[in-house]
Structure 1
Amino acid sequence: MTQARRRTVLKGLWGASALLPMAMASAPGRAMAQADQPASPAQAAPAAPQGPAPKQWTDPKTGRRILRISDQEGSGVLYFYRQAYTPEGDVMVLKSPAGIAAVRLKDWSTTLLVKGKENELLFMLRNTREAVYAVTDAGDGEAAERPKTIYAIHVDTKKVRKLARIPSGGISGANADDTLLLGSVTYGAKPLQPRDAASIEKFGKAEYAALGPDGKPLNFAKAKGVRMLERWASRVPAELFTLDIRTGQRTVLYTTEAWIGHAQFSPTDPKLIRFCMEGPWHRVDRIKLIQADGTGLRSVHTRTMNMEIWGHEFFSQDGKWLWYDLQTPRGQVFWVAGLELATGKRVWKRVEQNDWGVHFNIAPDNKTFASDGGDFDMVAHAPDGKWISLLQAETIVDAELDSYNDKLVTIEQFRSTRLVDMSAHDYRLEPNLRFTPDGKWLVFASNMHGANHVYAVEAHAPAAKAGI
């Protein structure tokens, strides 16, 4: 790196964006202080283009080709870190109003695997060509409190086999050798919000509602924050557990009265689990690691300042790193932070505020990242954050730092390349972006044309037209 370029990058790292006043209450981190996940304010939803969603087009601002993958309005993707592809990388699963669908990536053709929207798509197994899904028993009350049967269906033969049955709670993942299922359960927790079917259909979540101290309705983000705080403070028993697929043995790994979420196995280490403590991010010690036998519980990150927040954690695809959204402090300085699991080495990659996303993800090369943007108003400092973007890191190197201390955090800077203009997207629906196994496309959900659909954008093709 040239000396001039080094000065430019360092200026970007520690420039004006790091000094924004705390009074800017609509920063994304501020929404996270009020809600576990960043959410759009309940302002008027962006105007979606009229007419049906096009099958493909070139983004006029970025020059990138975008394809509509889903055939049915109301389709969606798995949560951003859940396994969605076959081991061979040729088939992806997605959710549709008709049921669970399979997409052949070579031609983007879609077929229905499991008919019926009552079948809840969970993830793909890592060693077989099977999609795992849950069927909840009929009855009153929240689905999380009712028994579920867990099945796996082969994406080619459509042969179904039963994996497990649980009395309550949910299954969120399987380990790297497909021998254990991972789940969590909470006993007696009240729902965050009454489940209104219309909002769940449109955004995948309830339409949060709450009143402020003045008796007036709060916007979506603040209302969700109220409900999240209530749930976090409720202190009800919870368990993290595994189920042996072969024997059915249930093993409780961790018990607490705190709120467990986001439990996942490492994609490569069949014994390593990460999970989080849900709740307002500035109040919790968010990310935990534990072994599949219940030993080795530890925290991933230690807070060093008031209002420091971190979350939306995910493994690198080779399983060597754990990455997460870090803000030091909330809404002021943005990073994608990483922990190398074998060595304890830490790298923080600086994210400009317009490149921040509800979620980040990583490509198969384990170097390239992506952001799905966010719906927030940073006044004059970051008014333009609604983009799907590629993020590529640039190391900050000085001669006197060549023999750096591995025990200290290594700082890098992201360079961004915008791929999709998301200005018409309502971020109450999370895009949940992911790279395809060949790294050539980014798949995401959007309501930019009104109805929910699943799209793919070329990630590494040269832009046909540079409009930004």
Structure 2
Amino acid sequence: MIEKRISSMLLFAIVAASNLMAQPVLETGGKKMPNEWIDKETGHKVIKLIRKEGNFASFYFHNNPFIPGKNGEGDRMVFYGNDQYKGDGNGNFLYTVNLKDFSVKQLTFGKQRKTGEILAVKQHKIYFQSRDTIYAVNADTQKTEVVYVFPEDFKGNITTINADETLLAGAKSTEEEKEIYKNNPEKKDYFNKIYEAKLPRTLFTIDIKNKQLNKIFTDSAWLNHIQFSPSNPKLLMFCHEGPWHKVDRIWTIDIDTKNVQLIHKRTMNMEIAGHEWFDKRGNIIWFDLQMPRGEKFFVAGVDLQTKKEKRYELDRNEWSVHYTSSNDAKLFAGDGGDENAVAKAPNGKWIYLFKPEGDRFVSEKLVDMKHHKYKFEPNVHFSPDQKWVIFRANFEGSEQIYAVEIQKHKK
């Protein structure tokens, strides 16, 4: 009896010790990290999603990357990566990772760079562009097909797909604008030049079934950040790009009626609004609002039915390069920012969770990002089960994709 009791105690000790070894409490970054650890500054569990060598990048913050799993299968996340040739994690290959068992499937091959980040959830297809050709790859079969080839006189770029997955949309720029990019490759050099040039841009759609391109709107402004509503297949959001304090940035257009609406009008000198996104239900357009720039910080949202605007204030250190919202908009997340960003935050390098309370956000720090270089933007996403915040980072020295558990680790 005593031997049996000792044996049980020994087994419990071994299991407990192995659990501690599997989830060490560590400073995040500055060295090679294990696949799982507890961030010593926040107490939250962090895991590496891509468990292979290479450089990898999750999608931009407003582009949905998730394919829901069925019949016990794990949800899948689509991402870009590079594990075969030298280069960064943006653009060479498309993959999926199963969020249940971390299995990775490569979908595309060949060195040619790809752009798009456009997932058709119902079709299980990822649309992307390489040079003048649009392709679709099936996430289940890996079969790739040519969808559309731009004509010689209209070389556009796609960025989004509509809610019923029948239309792609994007913008066409002028040759003059492309020349400014070519001669000024750094954002600090081209950004003001393109804005000041006032060159025309054209929004367009492509009917996927009929292979038909339709020009829907042209303006002598830098039309950018183009996103279809996740619920209204006819509603397209776009921005007037440029220095945010000089533009009324956020707009929508009905692609049938061509009715254009301004979503947020600036009301003071140096006010800025940007990095806009639709909530998951398509009811609200959210955005970073500063009144004025670099002094007072909000996340604001405009209800598309009532046109009413709500604002949640946050502190300087809580300001984030990008924000996102959960499926029910009861939680928000932000990816923080370094001291060189617009907020000039002395202690802003964190992945944050935000909960609205009254007219403010109450924040919780999820991941210490002090070893991350913010030129590689973290771009937060809530996982499909709403239990994790997924982000990308370079705090190990390479570009990798991680998830942090929202529920704090129990000691």
TM-score range, shorter chain: 0.7 to 0.9
- Asked if the contact 1:76/1:445 (under 8 Å) is kept, the reply is yes
Rounded to whole Å, the distance in 2 between the matches of 1:365 and 1:437 is 12
Match of 1:445, as an amino acid? Answer: R
Q: Which secondary structure state, in structure 2, belongs to the residue aligned with residue 426 of structure 1?
A: coil
Correspondence for 2:19: none
Residue correspondence of structure 1 range 207-246 to structure 2 within 5 A: 208=186, 224-246=187-209
Q: Paired residue for 2:161? A: 174
Higher relative contact order (CA 8 A, sep 6+): 1
Rounded Cα–Cα distance in structure 1 between residues aligned with 2:249 and 2:213: 25
- Normalising by structure 1, we get a TM-score of 0.74
Q: Match of 2:82?
A: 97
Structure 1: which amino acid aligns with 2:34?
P
1:417 maps to 2:397: no
Partner of 2:62: 81
| Contiguous gaps of at least 5 residues in structure 1 | 1-46, 137-147, 197-205, 209-223, 396-411
Compute the TM-score of the two structures, normalised by the length of structure 2.
0.84
Do the aligned residues in 1 keep the contact of 2:338 with 2:344 (CA within 8 Å)? Answer: no
Whether 1:116 aligns to 2:110 is: yes
Task: Please give the per-residue CA displacement for 1:250-277, whole angstroms capped at 9, x wherever unaligned.
Answer: 1111101211111010011101110001
Q: Say if 2:294 and 2:344, in contact at 8 Å, map to a contact too.
A: no
Higher strand fraction (1 or 2) = 2
Paired AA for residue 413 in structure 1: R
Residue type of the partner of 2:398?
A: A
Aligned with 1:265 (options 217, 228, 233): 228
The offset of 1:68, in angstroms, is 1.2
Partner amino acid, structure 2, of 1:128: Q
Q: Confirm or deny: 8 A CA contact 1:100 1:119 kept in the other structure.
A: no
1:453 corresponding residue in structure 2: 400
1:434–1:250 Cα change, 3 Å:
same
Distance in 2 of aligned mates of 1:449 and 1:101? 21
| Structure 2 residue matching 1:228: 3-state secondary structure | helix
Instruction: For residue 150 of structure 1, report the CA deviation from its aligned partner.
Output: 1.2
* 1:290 equivalent among 239, 253, 259: 253
Name the counterpart of 1:60. 40
| Alignment of 1:107 onto 2:101 | yes
The structure whose Rg is larger is 2
The match for 1:151 is 135
* Deviation, structure 1 residue 149: 1.4
Rounded to whole Å, the distance in 1 between the matches of 2:318 and 2:136 is 37
* Alpha-carbon distance in structure 2 between the residues aligned to 1:276 and 1:327: 17
Deviation above 6 Å: which 4+ runs of structure 1? none
Structure 2 portions without partners, runs of 5+: 1-27, 84-92
What is the total number of aligned residue pairs between the two structures? 364
Contact persistence 1:239–1:255 (CA under 8 A): yes
SS, match of residue 114 in structure 1: coil
CA gap 1:446/1:300 in 2 versus in 1, 3 angstroms: same
Q: RMSD over aligned Cα, in angstroms?
A: 2.1
Deviation per CA, 1:223-243: give whole Å up to 9, x if none. x44431111111222100001
Alignment match of 1:440 (pick from 365, 379, 387): 387
| Amino acid in structure 2 at the alignment position of 1:64 | H
Q: Is 1:252–1:294's contact at 8 Å kept on the other side of the alignment?
A: no
User: C-alpha separation between the residues in 1 aligned to 2:238 and 2:128?
Assistant: 20
Secondary structure of 1:240's counterpart equals: strand
Residue correspondence of structure 1 range 188-199 to structure 2 within 5 A: 188=175, 189-190=177-178, 193-194=181-182
Structure 2: how far apart are the matches of 1:187 and 1:382?
Answer: 37
Mapped to 2, the partners of 1:452 and 1:271 lie a distance apart of 36
Distance 1:294 1:280, change over 3 A: farther
The Cα of 1:91 is off from its aligned counterpart by 1.1
User: For the Cα contact (< 8 Å) 1:169–1:184, is it kept in 2?
Assistant: yes
